[in-house]
């Protein structure tokens, strides 16, 4: 086996893992800071993708359409938090059911508005040559984007007043309230940021994953499993789980078949959950 082939496989696997991480990180933020699983996360991704698509179609440059997608999803996210999530704090199953209902409603709305087939936008054409192989450049760019998103979230949680408040509010809610943190406002912002990250993911992945109403379902399975495997320490846990599961699946897929890649993903997930039933980070001492 040549070294250039190996490098190609490694790079493309890393980029698959990064794509998984990009799609997951918003979900992980909301789960880590609010203890809420947003089953409509995939649909926020879809909303982000359609927003970016619509913006590009009306003549706005693609790069500028990404912040628009973020703003739109953040606004919808904040509304959803105030109208639904806030009323269900501490009721894990009910929150899941309500966001599930939301997910299906968004899906059907997208079918109504956009139909089931949408044109993709062309992938920016540049590529990287490694020995005899060439790799599309845009998916490789995702490695950098994923790293930037991770750094952004880390900075947000550790370097800003909001981040400190949010982390305090999830760890000891009563104490956080007692020292004057208005946790409901913090939570609205957290949920909105989580949805914004999903919108960003949908927009930035648009050249790779064309917008369809059902794209959310396709993405969420792996994103959910990543967060669930990650456990309570969501940021580090999700990065590790995404690289391990997504990267491993992609490597398996490139040497065997794509079905084998999926099988790897689900089997390793099941194995990890068997060994760490509350997630791999359940017993870690670090909390970020």
Partner 1 sequence: MTFSEKLYKSAGLTFPIIATGAALIAASVMNPYLAYVATSWIIFGLLGLSLDIVWGRGGLLSLGQTAFYGLGGYFGSVIVLNLSPVTGNTLIWSLPAGAAFGGLCAAALGWIIFFARMGPLQSTILSYTLTLLLWSLTQSFQLDVGQASIGGDNGLSNIPGMVLSFGGNAEALGPVAVFVATILISALVYLLTRWLMKGTFGRVVDCIRIDAQKAELLGYDVRMYQVANFAYAGAVAGVAGALFGAWANYLSPSIFSVQEALLVPIYVLVGGLGTLSGAFVGAIAVGGLSYWLGGGAVGGQTTLILGVVLIFLVLFLKNGMLGALGDLWRQYLPDTNAAARDAGAVSIDPDVLEGLLKDAAAQAGPAKNLATRDAFKRFGGVVPVNRVSRLFEPGRPSSLIGPNGAGKSSFLKTCVGIYTPEAGSIYLGSDDDITRAPIFERVRRGMGVKNQKPQVFGSLTVFDNLWMAAYARTRNKTAATEISGKIMGMLGFTNQAAVQASVLSHGQQQWLDIGMVLCLTPRVILLDEPAAGMTNEETRELSSLVRILARYTTVIVVEHDMEFVRTLEGHVTVLHQGEVFAEGDIDTLRANDRVLDIYLGRRAHV
Query: Out of 6, 60, 64, 92, which residue is the one contacting partner 1 (CB under 8 A)?
Result: 92
Q: Does 221 bind partner 1 (CB under 8 A)?
A: yes
Comparing CB distances to partner 1, the nearer of 106 and 200 is 106
Q: Does 249 bind partner 1 (CB under 8 A)?
A: no
Query: Out of 78, 82, 88, 140, which residue is the one contacting partner 1 (CB under 8 A)?
Result: 88
The answer to whether the CB of 224 falls within 8 A of the CB of 231 is no
Rounded CA separation 129/104 (Å): 42
Rounded CA separation 11/108 (Å): 37
Tokens describing residue 241:
């789980």
CA distances from 130 to 103, 111, 133, 139, 182 (A): 42, 41, 5, 15, 53
Burial tier of 63 (Cβ tally within 10 Å: 0-12, 13-18, 19+)? exposed
Tokens describing residue 232:
């309570």
Per-residue mark of binding to partner 1, 109-148 (x: CB under 8 A): x--x------------------------------------
Comparing CB distances to partner 1, the nearer of 56 and 188 is 188
Sign of the CA dihedral with 281 first, then 282, 287, and 288 last:
positive
Sequence-distant (≥ 6) Cβ neighbours of residue 239 within 8 angstroms: 21, 150
Comparing CB distances to partner 1, the nearer of 36 and 70 is 36
The answer to whether the CB of 42 falls within 8 A of the CB of 32 is no
* Torsions phi, psi for 191 (to 5 deg): -65, -40
Query: Out of 3, 59, 61, 274, which residue is the one contacting partner 1 (CB under 8 A)?
Result: 274
Q: Does 277 bind partner 1 (CB under 8 A)?
A: yes
Q: Does 54 bind partner 1 (CB under 8 A)?
A: no
CB of 95 to partner 1, least distance (A): 8
Q: Does 89 bind partner 1 (CB under 8 A)?
A: no
Region near partner 1 per CB under 8 A, out of 82-90, 160-168, 199-207, 246-254: 82-90
CB of 266 to partner 1, least distance (A): 7
DSSP conformation letters of 54-78: HHHHTT--HHHHHHHHHHHHHHHHH
Q: Does 185 bind partner 1 (CB under 8 A)?
A: no
Residues interacting with partner 1, by CB under 8 A? 37, 39, 84, 87-88, 92-94, 96-98, 100-109, 112, 217, 221, 224-225, 228, 266, 270, 273-274, 277-279, 285
């Amino acid at each position: 086996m040549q070294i250039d082939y190996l490098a190609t496989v490694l790079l493309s696997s890393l980029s698959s893992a990064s794509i998984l991480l990009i799609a997951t990180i918003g979900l992980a933020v909301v789960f880590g800071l609010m203890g809420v699983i947003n089953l409509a996360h995939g649909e926020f991704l879809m909303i982000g993708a359609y927003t970016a698509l619509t913006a590009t179609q009306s003549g706005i440059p693609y790069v500028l359409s990404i912040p628009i997608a973020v703003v739109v999803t953040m606004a919808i996210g904040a509304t959803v938090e105030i109208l639904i999530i806030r009323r269900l704090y501490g009721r894990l199953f009910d929150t899941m059911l309500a966001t599930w209902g939301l997910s299906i409603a968004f899906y059907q709305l997208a079918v109504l508005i956009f139909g089931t087939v949408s044109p993709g936008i062309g992938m920016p054409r540049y590529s990287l040559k490694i020995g005899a192989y060439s790799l599309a450049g845009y998916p490789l760019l995702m490695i950098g984007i994923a790293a930037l998103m991770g750094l952004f979230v880390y900075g947000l949680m550790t370097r800003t007043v909001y981040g400190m408040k949010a982390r305090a509010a999830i760890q000891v809610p009563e104490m956080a309230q007692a020292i004057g943190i208005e946790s409901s406002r913090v939570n609205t912002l957290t949920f909105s940021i989580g949805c914004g990250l999903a919108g960003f993911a949908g927009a930035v992945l648009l050249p790779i994953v064309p917008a369809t109403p059902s794209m959310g379902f396709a993405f969420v399975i792996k994103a959910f499993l990543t967060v669930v495997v990650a456990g309570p320490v969501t940021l580090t846990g999700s990065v590790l789980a995404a690289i391990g599961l997504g990267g491993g699946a992609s490597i398996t897929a490139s040497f065997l078949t794509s079905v084998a890649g999926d099988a790897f993903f689900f089997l390793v997930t099941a194995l990890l959950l068997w060994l760490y039933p509350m997630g791999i980070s359940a017993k870690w001492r670090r909390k970020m």
